[in-house]
Homo-oligomer: A and B are copies of this chain.
């Protein structure tokens, strides 16, 4: 990564394509820099002018007599390449390329963008854009507004990264209206060189930035993003993101059962869930959360007290608390006693406290002074609507005093007003007390904060490494690749899983009837008989599966029926032989697990209970490999089926530890062999506590692009395999 220091903290900036004509981008950028009282020096570059806005202009960047840290380029597309070459010659360290018409317009633009990327990389230039709005740094010692749409926002500790210029403008407008201060704004555009993870890294190290907000349509390098998010976690800088495209991208066309439920957006959900990134759905939420994190100290727990001067708001807040998983604090008897003295007889001193409509600011203060002492209260929400008896300025002033006297108590407010932007809200702003329209928002924000800090507090865990037979798995994959196959047969899939320490229901492979019968007698009746062919995807459809065969006679009959059925289909299936398996009836719950390779993300692992759970309720959870123990447990807990596994209504509980173990082993397998495109374990049977888990059927498919073209060398032998 090129250092972004030169983009955000330049001592000198050249605006290439600066213009004196109002209404042009080149004019807007230059005038914004000038008007932002940039602490460095700005040089307009345009051969058409001697000066722009009274500042001496230059023909090109090379002729500038001083060294240039940052070039902001707004020249026509056809001139861009040449301008960048000049920047390289001049030794410019950073570029913000505003000009549009690259990757976003198709092949021609994409080619040009690739040339620019190469040019910047070769010359070690940190290039932001193209097709971007620019950047803002509100830091007093820098004070740089290098964008063409918006004036300088309030300074603050919220960093904002936007992949869309329009959303960036909207977001800054919204932030301004809601009194939220910005540290840095970055419009990242096409991400030809610098991407969101680079900017993230810069903001994580940036002392001015405490909260990072982001609008993203995609993430270029999920693995690096994951790494950066963990770095942010270590510094307790929350990342709040809107990632759009849930519907647009739609579900990926993956054919297996597993894949049908996953989509690339699921991969994003998993990515964010695995690194503590807070995903929101709306810009309003993005800033509500940012406001909370920027103003509220961390609540010690989830027990909130609500103080209102009208019962209705208390009820709304109480409903919202339950909806968001917060607890209404139960006051100590001492608190209740004290509140009875402070409040009139008709008031409600239980939580939510109603100090009633005739309350003045003093009564509110007296109430808060008692509540703050209660050890059961982790956060306070105050909701006051104006009545004839309420001096809202006095209320706000008293809240400020209270906040000052009690810096340990998270306090947020709704002071309803009948007019926009009343002066008492300014008081709250100055005292850093966050306020929202309605108490439901305060509650939602507190819930998000509590969840975030719970994540931060988790004991760190490493990715576990199991001792497995990796070499054996390697040989197996090689042999399949050499046959130019992508599809594992069932016994091959089993061998792979067994190499990674997973148990498969007892099985044998055989070709001829005699050996089939021998295998069945070794295993013990009843058995299942399955056709083995790399060409048959659905055994049942083709009549290639017979279950619960109780003796030699039934098995013999099933053998002939399958052969007959295959023959009748008139096709060229390559038949390897037969699989003889124990007909497994031990008491347990059917699970499914699987994985799909998602471009850019690696393997997306799925887990759920089988049957209705997965088919109708889509009650499954996803996480990206590699999984750690937290991830594995979380994905089990995320499903409703978890209630069944841990023993529903006094019924038996099942071996969850073994499920975790298998998910981790599966993860290790997928990390070791990224050429596995699809893996489907369906069903798996988990037995009661401590009795383990057994795989009953498996499917493994390799990525076509990496299957070698070499002719087959090894054939499956008709012997009992690794059982």
Binding site for B on A (CB under 8 A): 23-25, 27-28, 100-101, 104-105, 148-151, 162-167, 169-170, 172-174, 176-177, 215, 217, 242, 244-248, 281-284, 308-313, 315-316, 318-319, 321-323, 345-346, 357, 385-389, 416-421, 437-438, 440, 612-613, 615-617, 640-641, 643-644, 648-649
Cβ distance A286 to chain B, nearest Cβ, rounded Å: 10
Take A176-B418, A312-B167, A615-B649 as given contacts and tell me if A24 and B388 are in contact as well, using a CB distance cutoff of 8 Å.
yes
When C-beta atoms are compared, the residue in chain B nearest to A22 turns out to be B388
Stoichiometry, as copies per complex, reads 2
Take A164-B311, A616-B644, A640-B617 as given contacts and tell me if A248 and B319 are in contact as well, using a CB distance cutoff of 8 Å.
yes
Cβ distance A651 to chain B, nearest Cβ, rounded Å: 10
Contact present for B617 and A617 (CB under 8 Å): yes
Q: A24-B388, A167-B385, A217-B315 are in contact. List 7 more A-B contacts (CB 8 A).
A: A100-B346, A100-B357, A166-B312, A217-B312, A248-B315, A283-B437, A616-B641
When C-beta atoms are compared, the residue in chain B nearest to A416 turns out to be B170
- A-B contacts, 15 of them at CB < 8 A, read A25-B388, A100-B346, A149-B387, A150-B386, A164-B311, A165-B312, A165-B387, A166-B313, A169-B387, A242-B316, A282-B440, A283-B437, A284-B437, A420-B420, A616-B648
Contact present for A418 and B172 (CB under 8 Å): yes
Contact present for B649 and A389 (CB under 8 Å): no
Q: How far is the CA of A104 from the CA of B151 in the complex (A)?
A: 53
Q: How far is the CA of A101 from the CA of B612 in the complex (A)?
A: 55
When C-beta atoms are compared, the residue in chain B nearest to A215 turns out to be B312
Take A315-B244, A421-B420 as given contacts and tell me if A174 and B282 are in contact as well, using a CB distance cutoff of 8 Å.
no
Contact present for B615 and A170 (CB under 8 Å): no
Kindly identify which residue among B170, B247, B248 contacts A385, using a CB–CB cutoff of 8 Å. B170
When C-beta atoms are compared, the residue in chain B nearest to A328 turns out to be B247
When C-beta atoms are compared, the residue in chain B nearest to A321 turns out to be B247
| A28 proximity list for chain B (CB < 8 A) | 388
Take A248-B318, A346-B105, A649-B615 as given contacts and tell me if A385 and B166 are in contact as well, using a CB distance cutoff of 8 Å.
yes
Take A28-B388, A387-B149, A388-B149 as given contacts and tell me if A311 and B416 are in contact as well, using a CB distance cutoff of 8 Å.
no
Q: How far is the CA of A101 from the CA of B316 in the complex (A)?
A: 23
Kindly identify which residue among B283, B318, B420 contacts A177, using a CB–CB cutoff of 8 Å. B420
Take A248-B315, A315-B248 as given contacts and tell me if A23 and B385 are in contact as well, using a CB distance cutoff of 8 Å.
no
Cβ distance A176 to chain B, nearest Cβ, rounded Å: 6
When C-beta atoms are compared, the residue in chain B nearest to A422 turns out to be B173
When C-beta atoms are compared, the residue in chain B nearest to A418 turns out to be B173
Take A177-B420, A418-B172 as given contacts and tell me if A247 and B648 are in contact as well, using a CB distance cutoff of 8 Å.
no
Contact present for A308 and B247 (CB under 8 Å): no
| A24 proximity list for chain B (CB < 8 A) | 388
Q: How far is the CA of A24 from the CA of B388 in the complex (A)?
A: 7
Q: How far is the CA of A582 from the CA of B530 in the complex (A)?
A: 39
Q: How far is the CA of A105 from the CA of B28 in the complex (A)?
A: 64
| A162 proximity list for chain B (CB < 8 A) | 312
| A417 proximity list for chain B (CB < 8 A) | 173
Q: How far is the CA of A318 from the CA of B217 in the complex (A)?
A: 13
| A245 proximity list for chain B (CB < 8 A) | 315, 319
Kindly identify which residue among B101, B310, B389, B613 contacts A166, using a CB–CB cutoff of 8 Å. B310
When C-beta atoms are compared, the residue in chain B nearest to A246 turns out to be B319
When C-beta atoms are compared, the residue in chain B nearest to A316 turns out to be B244
Cβ distance A104 to chain B, nearest Cβ, rounded Å: 7
Cβ distance A284 to chain B, nearest Cβ, rounded Å: 6
In the A-B complex, list the 8 residue pairs whose CB atoms are closest, starting with the nearest: A166-B310, A164-B312, A247-B322, A167-B312, A173-B418, A166-B385, A170-B416, A244-B315
Take A105-B346, A615-B649 as given contacts and tell me if A166 and B23 are in contact as well, using a CB distance cutoff of 8 Å.
no
| A648 proximity list for chain B (CB < 8 A) | 615-616
Take A284-B438, A418-B151, A420-B177 as given contacts and tell me if A385 and B615 are in contact as well, using a CB distance cutoff of 8 Å.
no
When C-beta atoms are compared, the residue in chain B nearest to A283 turns out to be B438
Q: How far is the CA of A315 from the CA of B247 in the complex (A)?
A: 9
> Among the interface residues A389, A421, A644, which one has the most CB atoms of the partner chain B within 10 A?
A389
Q: How far is the CA of A101 from the CA of B357 in the complex (A)?
A: 12
Take A104-B346, A440-B281, A440-B282 as given contacts and tell me if A247 and B312 are in contact as well, using a CB distance cutoff of 8 Å.
no
Q: How far is the CA of A564 from the CA of B221 in the complex (A)?
A: 72
| A246 proximity list for chain B (CB < 8 A) | 319, 322-323
Q: How far is the CA of A640 from the CA of B165 in the complex (A)?
A: 41
Contact present for A318 and B105 (CB under 8 Å): no
Contact present for A309 and B150 (CB under 8 Å): no
Kindly identify which residue among B167, B173, B418, B644 contacts A313, using a CB–CB cutoff of 8 Å. B167
Q: How far is the CA of A148 from the CA of B315 in the complex (A)?
A: 23
Contact present for A23 and B438 (CB under 8 Å): no
| A217 proximity list for chain B (CB < 8 A) | 312, 315
Contact present for B166 and A247 (CB under 8 Å): no
Contact present for B165 and A310 (CB under 8 Å): yes
Contact present for B385 and A169 (CB under 8 Å): yes
When C-beta atoms are compared, the residue in chain B nearest to A643 turns out to be B616
| A247 proximity list for chain B (CB < 8 A) | 318-319, 321-323
